[in-house]
């Protein structure tokens, strides 16, 4: 009788192993991989940490550290069917991770805010779209607070100026806006909305793909959107979708110009579309500054941050029995240029535009891939009593506009001038932000503003000049070097940088044969 009970217990335990939470096959594979394939062992056979160096602590670099930590320190695996399996403590700690982030300037990179009158003002990346699934999740997981109300409101409508007149002024009621657009542009607004929604749906489908992509080209092929990266917005919207040039020049250009400071006949259709999705409701930023995301992700990832500029990445000889070479990263302290250092890594992630990073590579690393020029954008933060209506050919006694975007006119001195979400300063004047292609002289500012003070001006190498292409830089530059900003050749947003960083975290997991992880 006793023997019979023991047999039943063994049977129950077996059924639990096979059909229960723990996937025997997956765990078996984990053990095999560790035993056979893990090259990260000390000569005495004990496992050593996998060392990953990240160049840049912007949203790309910080999110890469965050996702790597999430993958490697997770005790939950998902198999290819999405089934979750729990690792035992031994298995979850067999991949100790050692992440070092090098940052030459400041955490956040182009997500940078400054303080004016004790209030936070975004100088770079300002807006998160509610459809940004990765950032939504990061914000939730890290307990960051969202700030809404950063777009124009019905009380403070936006206007579109073509250099002569306001071609569009938002009304109190959105249905009136729709009617105005239909009267002026017939079916164009509907055609545009349909094609945009179709593309947004295709893009959103990329979030459900668990397998990492190996090239940017593959990403767009997978979601059937290559035709948006290899033609201009003009070719796509006018020639393919059948939208009139008037509609795209007058109305759509305003969003393209304010977001990317580029024109519809040069920018790729994909980048233009991302700019046009960015003009919807529900936009938000992060309390305390968008750079808080980078700061929190780095803290959460338990990485070490070193304030240094990476000057050179050197591929070393592949050690005996290793699967791929090691890399030596040469750094220089920005404050003390004579302070040089070297660090050895298994993997290096470049999370900064190579075009702007002054990085040198050893000659055994192939860097013969496409590069882009970056667009110079002048940002001004100016407090003023108001914008002068006469500047926009409005009657002097009319209500001064608060938000002015611009339609397609390459001779205009700025892309947009808009009351900033920071609102009114202590002295009662409103804070305005201007995006301009060039330096704005005193004469122009005198005619644009009433009683103004320039608080801050900055020139960004803001984003790549996003002309159409079907050839992107590689994501995997060398067997152990990955490049987050290859994706920036398609579009530049915080969300797409996290998308690229997450993909690279998965590629590194694959490279060391860490079982597939759902993050
Ligand atoms: C004015 C402006 C407005 C924008 N508005 C928005 C917006 O509203 N919404 C949005 O989603 N996106 C916006 N963007 C785009 C967004 O800022 C970028 O796509 C994103 O922040 C890029 O992140 P990243 O980490 O890839 O690069 P970066 O933020 O540029 O980070 C790279 C980091 O690497 C460091 N670095 C570079 N070289 C080295 C080196 N050799 N050694 C060490 N460190 C190095 C740099 O100092 C930097 O901190 C805007 C950009 C600008 C300029």
pLDDT in tens, 447-480: 999 999 999 999 999 999 999 999 999 999 999 9
Q: Which atom of ligand 1 is nearest to the CA of 62?
A: 25
Question: What SS3 state is found at 393?
Answer: coil
Assess if residue 295 is contained within a domain. yes
How close is the Cα of 64 to the center of ligand 1, in Å? 14
Q: Which two tokens stand for residue 277?
A: 């999705």
492, 500, 502: residue to mutate for ligand 1 pocket, most atoms within 8 A of CB: 492
Assess if residue 509 is contained within a domain. yes
User: Which of 361, 372, 368, 366 shows the shortest CA–CA distance to 310?
Assistant: 361
How close is the Cα of 494 to the center of ligand 1, in Å? 8
Q: Which residues pair with 415 in a beta bridge?
A: none
Assess if residue 120 is contained within a domain. yes
- CA Rg value for the chain: 26
Over residues 80-98, the pLDDT tens digits come to 455 666 655 555 545 688 9
According to the model, what pLDDT value does residue 157 have? Answer: 85
CATH number at residue 488: 3.50.50.60
Q: How far from chain centre, in Å, is Cα 200?
A: 16
Does 36 have pLDDT greater than 90?
no
How close is the Cα of 157 to the center of ligand 1, in Å? 29
Q: What is the residue with the minimal CA distance to atom 37 of ligand 1? A: 357
Q: Which atom of ligand 1 is nearest to the CA of 462?
A: 53
Quick one: residue 337, left, alpha or beta (phi over 0 = left, psi -120 to 50 = alpha)?
Answer: alpha
- In this structure, the residues whose C-beta lies within 6 A of any atom of ligand 1 are 55-61, 102-105, 109-111, 124-127, 309-310, 351-352, 357-359, 377, 379, 460, 462-463, 484-485, 492-495, 497
Over residues 146-193, the pLDDT tens digits come to 999 766 666 788 899 999 999 988 876 676 677 777 778 788 989 999
Mean pLDDT of 249-276: 93
How close is the Cα of 114 to the center of ligand 1, in Å? 15
Query: Locate tokens 């290559």: which residue?
Result: 226
> Is residue 263 within 8 Å of 253, Cβ to Cβ?
yes
Strand boundaries in 82-155, DSSP class E? 84-86, 97-103, 113-116, 119-122, 146-147
How close is the Cα of 40 to the center of ligand 1, in Å? 33
Q: How far from chain centre, in Å, is Cα 494?
A: 2
211/404 Cα distance (integer angstroms)? 43
61, 63, 123, 124: residue to mutate for ligand 1 pocket, most atoms within 8 A of CB: 124
Does 363 have pLDDT greater than 80?
yes
Query: Locate tokens 């960015």: which residue?
Result: 278
Contacts of 81 (CB under 8 A, 6+ apart): none
Angle among Cα 144, 277, 466 to the nearest 5 degrees reads 100
Both ends of the chain: CA-CA distance in Å? Answer: 48
Confidence bin at 219 (pLDDT 50/70/90)? very high
Find the domain containing 491 and state its range: 36-144+281-369+470-519
Confidence bin at 304 (pLDDT 50/70/90)? very high
How close is the Cα of 459 to the center of ligand 1, in Å? 13
User: Which of 283, 267, 472 shows the shortest CA–CA distance to 369?
Assistant: 472
Assess if residue 497 is contained within a domain. yes
Count of domains observed in the chain: 1
According to the model, what pLDDT value does residue 180 have? Answer: 72
Assess if residue 150 is contained within a domain. no
Mean pLDDT of 400-419: 95
Assess if residue 247 is contained within a domain. no
ipTM strictly over 0.90? Answer: yes
Question: What SS3 state is found at 202?
Answer: helix
Share of the chain above pLDDT 70, in %: 83
Assess if residue 116 is contained within a domain. yes
Q: Which residues pair with 54 in a beta bridge?
A: 101, 349
Assess if residue 72 is contained within a domain. yes
Mean pLDDT of 358-383: 97
């Amino acid at each position: 009788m006793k023997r019979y009970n023991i047999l039943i217990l063994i049977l129950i335990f077996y059924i639990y192993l096979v059909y229960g939470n723990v996937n025997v096959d997956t765990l078996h594979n984990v053990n095999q991989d560790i035993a056979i394939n893990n090259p990260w062992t000390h000569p005495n056979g004990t496992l050593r940490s996998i060392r990953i160096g990240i160049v840049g602590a912007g949203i790309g670099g910080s999110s890469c550290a965050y996702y790597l930590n999430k993958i490697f320190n997770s005790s939950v695996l998902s198999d290819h069917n999405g089934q979750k399996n729990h690792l035992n403590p031994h298995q979850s700690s067999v991949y100790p991770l050692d992440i070092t982030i090098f940052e030459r300037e400041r955490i956040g990179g182009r997500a940078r805010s400054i303080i004016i009158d004790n209030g936070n003002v975004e100088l770079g990346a300002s807006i998160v779209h509610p459809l940004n699934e990765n950032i939504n999740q990061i914000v939730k997981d890290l307990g960051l607070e969202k700030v809404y109300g950063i777009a124009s409101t019905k009380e403070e409508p936006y206007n579109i100026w073509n250099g002569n007149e306001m071609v569009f002024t938002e009304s109190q009621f959105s249905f009136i806006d729709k009617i105005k657009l239909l009267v002026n542009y017939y079916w164009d607004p509907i055609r545009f909305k349909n094609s945009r929604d179709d593309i947004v749906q295709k893009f959103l489908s990329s979030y459900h793909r668990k397998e990492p992509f190996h090239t940017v080209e593959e990403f767009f092929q997978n979601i059937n959107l290559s035709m948006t990266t290899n033609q201009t917005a003009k070719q796509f919207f006018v020639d393919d979708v059948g939208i009139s040039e008037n509609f795209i020049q007058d109305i759509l250009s305003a969003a393209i110009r304010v977001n990317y400071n580029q024109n519809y006949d040069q920018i790729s259709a994909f980048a233009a579309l991302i700019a046009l999705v960015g003009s919807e409701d529900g936009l938000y930023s992060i309390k305390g500054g968008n750079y808080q995301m980078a700061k929190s992700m780095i803290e959460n990832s338990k990485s070490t941050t070193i304030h240094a500029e990476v000057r050179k990445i050197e591929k070393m000889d592949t050690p005996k029995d290793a699967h791929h070479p090691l890399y030596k990263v040469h750094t220089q302290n920005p404050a003390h240029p004579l302070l040089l250092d070297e660090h050895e890594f298994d993997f290096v992630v470049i999370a900064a535009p190579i075009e702007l990073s002054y990085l040198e590579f050893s000659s055994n690393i192939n860097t013969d891939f496409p590069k882009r020029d970056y667009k110079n954008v002048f940002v001004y933060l100016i407090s003023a009593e108001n914008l002068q209506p006469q500047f926009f050919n409005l009657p002097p006694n009319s209500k001064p506009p608060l938000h002015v975007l611009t339609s397609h006119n390459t001779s205009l001195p700025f892309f947009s001038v808009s009351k900033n979400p920071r609102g009114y300063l202590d002295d009662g004047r409103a804070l305005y932000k201007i995006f301009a292609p060039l330096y704005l002289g005193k004469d122009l500012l005198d005619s644009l503003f009433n009683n103004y003070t320039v608080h801050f001006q900055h020139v960004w190498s803001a984003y790549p000049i996003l002309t159409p292409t079907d050839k992107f830089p590689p994501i995997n530059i060398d067997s152990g070097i990955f490049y987050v900003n290859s994706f920036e050749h398609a579009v530049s947003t915080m969300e797409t940088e996290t998308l690229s960083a997450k993909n690279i975290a998965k590629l590194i997991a694959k490279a060391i044969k860490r079982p597939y992880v759902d993050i």
